[in-house]
Amino acid sequence: MSMSRLTRLAFETLEDPASPFGLRSTACSTLMHAIDLRVQVPHGSPMACWRFLVESESSGNSLNQHQLQDPEVARDAVRILLDPEAGTDVQDLALAVLQDQNLHALTEPDLATILDRIMTADRARQVGWLVYRLHQELGLSNESLIRIRDRFASSDVAAVRAQAPGISALLPRLDQEFALRILQDPKPPVRSAGLDMLQEVESIDAPQALLLARDHLATEQHRNVISSCHFAIGSLMRAAARAIRMSKLVAETEE
């Protein structure tokens, strides 16, 4: 049986509601593997797989090894995330499928609504990663990044606040006022996230970031956060040394 025949049979099986669930699940897996391998599949295969995953309430883990890159799938994922009646499992599935080109279906107003609707302690990392992917793919404005960062930072949930420094690290310059505020958070994981943020600054802000990390080390008492301080200071000092060497090399070249 040729691959084209196999994919046609898989598509027909998947679209047949009378087929046993296990057989349809196998057909869905077959089509997703074929899509990943860029094998020709029947028109509508990505959406057929997506409908099956949604209808069967599959978890987001179903897409760990697959990318259903398709505009129709992407639009439906956004619809699910905007639907106040959508269940937790299907929301997780929608978050998982929004990668790469699928992110183009998501607008900044949609993102603001989705963040307010689905952000929980358990989803904090997943949603923070969604914002990062969206910025890398489309380029969110500084204003949008600041609004999202401040929304996270003002949360009563520490796991959500801990995502705020990662969003702030996407800005072109270090926000010293925000850094000071996040380093004063009562929860150690949030302070550690703030120190991780300091390591991501551009070279122009490295001296100030190094000063902030050293000053915080002088007062920090939590063992894990102290360790984060040392990592941040070491990283920033190495970055400064590299910048000095590069500056000398450029100067020598110009001579």
Write the CB contacts of 77 (distance below 8 Å, at least 6 apart in sequence): 50, 93, 94, 95, 97, 98, 102, 105
**The pLDDT of residue 1:** 45
- Which residue has better confidence, 138 or 244? 138
Average pLDDT over residues 97-106: 93
134-172 pLDDT per residue, tens:
999 989 999 999 999 999 999 999 999 999 999 999 999
Average pLDDT over residues 32-58: 93
**Residue spans per domain, the chain:** 1-56, 57-161, 176-255
**The pLDDT of residue 255:** 62
Write the CB contacts of 88 (distance below 8 Å, at least 6 apart in sequence): none
Does the predicted model carry a pTM greater than 0.85? no
Longest dimension (CA), the chain: 78
171-188 pLDDT per residue, tens:
999 999 999 999 999 999
Average pLDDT over residues 18-44: 93
How far apart are alpha carbons 188 and 148 in whole angstroms? 21
How far apart are alpha carbons 205 and 72 in whole angstroms? 43
Q: Which of 59-68, 134-143, 199-208 has the lowest mean pLDDT?
A: 59-68
